[in-house]
Amino acid sequence: MKREEYLQILTDQIRCRMARDAVKEEYCAHIEDQMQDFMSEGMDRKEAEEAAVKEMGDPVETGNELDRIHRPVMPWGMIALIAALSIIGFAIQMTMQGKVETAGGYGWMSISRNLSFMIIGLTVMMAVCFADYTRIARHARFLMLLFDAGMLAVLLFGRTINGASNYVDIPFIGYVTAEYLMLLTVPLYAAVLYAYRGQGYRALGKAVLWMLVPVVLTFRIPRLTSAYMLSVCFMAVLAAAVWKGWFRVAKKGTFAGILACIFCLPAALFAWLWFFGAEYQQERVQAILRDPNQGAGAGGYVVQVVREFLDSSRIAGAGAADADVLRIPEVSEFALTGVIAYYGILAAAVLAGLLLFLLFRFLKISLRQRNQLGMLMGTACSILFLLETAGYIVTNLGVSYIGVFCPFLSYGGTGTIVTYVLLGLLLSICRYTRTAPEREAAGNIFPFRAAAPAAKITDKKTDR
């Protein structure tokens, strides 16, 4: 049997198309090595090929075994947990709105619209779960440029509401929040770094430039919390890539420098706002740095009200005092506070624990990925979700008023869809843990130009 015939029969047994090329390449290399051994013993090339193919064993049996090994595994347990948290989050938002309306307030949430976004989001999540995430690497830089250009267009021509140039009015859809769309650049940034593997300090300079543009554009909305979130995520992803040995740089020194930048960033941001920020921004900084009871502005007031809610709470059941939900200006950002006030600390702890368990599970699976692109993209998404959840918990515990979008608990159509897209990407990484091949990144930014093949890096070098 000839080599090509053997490889065709072998790969026909593998149902996952993603794995076929990698298996074919691997077995072709094995056959070639075996052929060289036989030829060194005096066989001609044709005899050596037939003997080498015979050494590989029966192609059907071997292919069936490879099919079992490379079969995608659906993470049904995590999908079920996501669905449960989605339903719980929707129920909590409905409950909080019901209490607001009972107290004579305005119902901020359209129940049918929010339910539609949740169903659409879950559908999109499953579609992304079945997609081949490794193909993102070939067009990551082009997609990053599209997002940056889109954000610039929003700043120039978008709708300004409450002083923020952040909204695009799309017919039949409504307002789309640009800052939430920019969160999709976090896994794209990981794919951009994937294209620079094996390069030196010049790659680090490119990495910094790629992160600066979306951060500056988001900062100009202005959305300071989102800009800070993006910058920390980008630097954390870069630190992970450096630690994994993707670049020819002094690993420990570069890693320490990135960590120093991450920890110095809040101080630099606060200093900028303190001296150059708008009045409401300076008040927000004062509310964060000082005792909220002494701070000015809405931020300090909200933190003070949240603390009053928490002071009257119980381990289980409604708090001792009648909590006036109308005193919180942005009720949709304080769902966890409402759970504590009306259902008890234990219920809130279980809810937060389930959410954190899901996110840390994703992080653990991502860090253990053999596929380097999946490892960094999964880590990027997990870090983003963990930062958002940490900021939400800090806000709902009355420590400070940060104001971030939390998966499952925050209200908003754009944020909901973006959340499920990122969850779908994480599920795809989990699904193809044993299957996804390493992809060569495109040599050019624009996908319609011929891509030069990137230099390959062996797994041994990549896994340093």
Q: Can you tell me the distance from the alpha carbon of 207 to that of 246, in angstroms, rounded to the nearest whole number?
A: 12
pLDDT digits over 41-87, tens only?
A: 888 888 888 888 888 888 878 877 776 777 788 899 999 999 999 99
Beta partners for residue 168, in sequence order: 176
Is the pLDDT reported for residue 461 higher than 80? Answer: no
pLDDT band (50, 70, 90) for residue 280 = low
> Which range is least confidently modeled, 82-91, 98-107, 190-199, 226-235?
98-107
**Which tops the pLDDT comparison, 41 or 408?**
408
Helical spans, DSSP H, in 171-296: 178-181, 185-195, 201-219, 224-243, 251-276, 279-289
Chain centroid, CA 122 distance in Å: 16
Environment class of 284 (CB within 10 Å of its CB; exposed 0-12, middle 13-18, buried 19+): buried
User: How would DSSP label each residue in 43-54?
Assistant: --HHHHHHHHHH
Determine the average pLDDT of the residues in 111-122: 90
Q: Which residue has the tokens 């209490």?
A: 99
Helix orientation angle between 372-396 and 413-431, rounded to the nearest 10 degrees: 140
Q: pLDDT at position 247, please? A: 92
pLDDT > 70 in the chain, percent:
84
Q: Can you tell me the distance from the alpha carbon of 192 to that of 207, in angstroms, rounded to the nearest whole number?
A: 8
- Size (the chain), residues: 464
Is the pLDDT reported for residue 243 higher than 70? Answer: yes
The model's pTM: 0.82
Q: Is the peptide bond before 222 cis (omega within 30 degrees of 0)?
A: yes
Helix (H) or strand (E) holding 160: strand 159-161
How far is the first Cα of the chain from the last one, in angstroms, to the nearest whole number?
40
> Which range is least confidently modeled, 9-23, 214-228, 351-365, 390-404?
9-23
pLDDT band (50, 70, 90) for residue 460 = very low
pLDDT band (50, 70, 90) for residue 429 = very high
Report which listed range, 79-88, 146-155, 157-166, 239-248, is most confident.
79-88
Helix orientation angle between 140-157 and 201-219, rounded to the nearest 10 degrees: 30
Q: pLDDT at position 10, please? A: 80
Q: pLDDT at position 166, please? A: 80
**Which tops the pLDDT comparison, 301 or 299?**
301
Q: How far is CA 316 from CA 78, 203, 341, 347, 399, in A?
A: 27, 53, 10, 7, 22
